[in-house]
Amino acid sequence: MGDTILITKIFREKKGYIATAIYQEQKLLEVHLESMERQSILGNIYVGRVKNIVKNLNAAFIEIEPGIPCYYSLEDLKHPLYVKKVNSPNLVQGDEVVVQVVRESSGSKPPKVSTNLNFSGKYLVLTSENTTLGISKKLDPETRKRLKKDLSFDKAREFGLIVRTNAASASVDEILDEYQQLEQEYLSIKKNAVHRTVFSCLKQEVPEYLHMLKDVRQEQVEKIITDDTELFQQIQQHLEIFHVQLNHKLSLYQDELLSLNKLYSLDIRIQEALKERVWMKSGGYLVIQPTEALTVIDVNSGKSIAKKHAEEHYLKINLEAADEIARQIRLRNLSGIIIVDFIDMKSEENNEMLLKNLRASVRNDSVPVQVVDMTRLHLVELTRKKVRKSLAEQLV
């Protein structure tokens, strides 16, 4: 069974959201809620102005709009595109520079921007400052080798490229056509930016419900469903231009007796994803507690009772927990440092099996996840890249 992408409007506490959800065999894997009142600035490209330099953080704060300062790490500074430069070799207060929002604000943390501009297509990502050629690690070694051999890009180019997983099912001509489109988009912004005033938005990212269609692996999509006529037309137009292979998988749901939201129990699943406790089939359960610094996940045996062979019993619960933890991290959009306290096992072989299973489970995530290691206290450390707000924060 493939993935079903559900796009609908839901209303919670007088606020409207466009919900984009990914289901697999009726199980919710991922959901993003977009406010209908305010569009996300993630991915937007601006002419920003350096407000101040904070040396002890080795960072700068760059305003993209009056009163909206964004964090910028000076370690990322390579070859920025200046619109206006104060007479100094370094990045200084008053400089006007082209930046892209790469992380939304979260809690007390401001948005984060980068001078390494990214232009994403179905098959490629063009990067303005990182000039290397990379190929998705999610592809198998043989496919990576084939793509590296078949694709011949201009070696004198001034930008980098990342070959995405969707490139595996595309022809060389399709990939090279997209390469030229991304190159023209980048060169156009580079040419026009110097004539724009500070705080100008040079590029506005498409809404999240369209952006997710670009990020999914197209061969895994079984159907795309929406129950909103306006959204259906917008998605259809987008697919005709950018994802014609998915066009026939789009359908408009029209059943006045049973809403799409209720058919897929979307509201119920979102409520469950906000709860602290998650029950598993074995009778064990997880306790998920996000804090300002990190997220702690505790694995408990719960109603699952071992009469004999306790070690094997705990291994079974831990392996189930590893799969469920990978799903919950993605569903709740948790990020940063994540610490998991699995049920203690004496066998090193079982602990290695658990880590291997966890690494395999998080590999399906659309956001990079790294399983670091198991500490001497048998706590498992993970990190997940911070891009968008957590599900709980999206509802604030």
| 385: its two tokens | 């890249």
pLDDT tens digits for range 217-239: 777 889 999 999 999 999 999 99
- Helix or strand holding residue 344 (H, E): none
Question: What percent of the chain shows pLDDT beyond 70?
Answer: 98
Read off the amino acid at residue 159. F
According to CATH, the superfamily of the domain at 3-39+206-267 is eRF1 domain 2 (3.30.420.60)
Q: Which pLDDT belongs to residue 151?
A: 85
Q: Give Cα separations from 299 to 302, 313, 315, 335, 377 (angstroms).
A: 9, 13, 12, 19, 14
Question: What percent of the chain shows pLDDT beyond 90?
Answer: 65
Mean pLDDT of the chain: 91
Q: Where in the chain is the domain with CATH 3.30.420.60?
A: 3-39+206-267
pLDDT over threshold 70, residue 1:
no
Residue 165 and residue 100: Cα distance in Å, rounded? 23
Q: Which pLDDT belongs to residue 93?
A: 95
Q: What is the dihedral of CA 342, 347, 351, 353, to 10 degrees?
A: -130
Read off the amino acid at residue 110. P
Q: Which pLDDT belongs to residue 13?
A: 67
Q: Which pLDDT belongs to residue 321?
A: 97
According to CATH, the superfamily of the domain at 41-204 is Nucleic acid-binding proteins (2.40.50.140)
DSSP 8-class letter at 267: H
| 22: its two tokens | 């990914």
pLDDT tens digits for range 43-81: 999 999 999 999 999 999 999 999 999 999 999 888 899
Higher pLDDT, 297 or 364: 297
Q: Which pLDDT belongs to residue 192?
A: 95
pLDDT tens digits for range 121-180: 889 999 998 888 899 888 888 998 899 888 888 777 889 999 998 888 889 999 999 999
Closest by Cα among 8, 80, 68 to 41: 68
β-partners of residue 24 are 3, 27
Closest by Cα among 264, 258, 255, 335 to 5: 264
Q: Where in the chain is the domain with CATH 2.40.50.140?
A: 41-204
pLDDT tens digits for range 266-320: 999 999 999 999 999 989 999 999 998 899 999 998 876 665 678 889 999 999 9
Q: Which pLDDT belongs to residue 383?
A: 97
Per the listing, tokens 């998080």 go with 362
Whole-model pTM: value is: 0.86
The distance from CA 217 to its chain's CA centroid, rounded to whole angstroms, is 14
Residue 146 and residue 163: Cα distance in Å, rounded? 12
- Asked whether 365 and 165 are in contact (CB, 8 A), the reply is no
**Interval 251-257 mean pLDDT:** 93
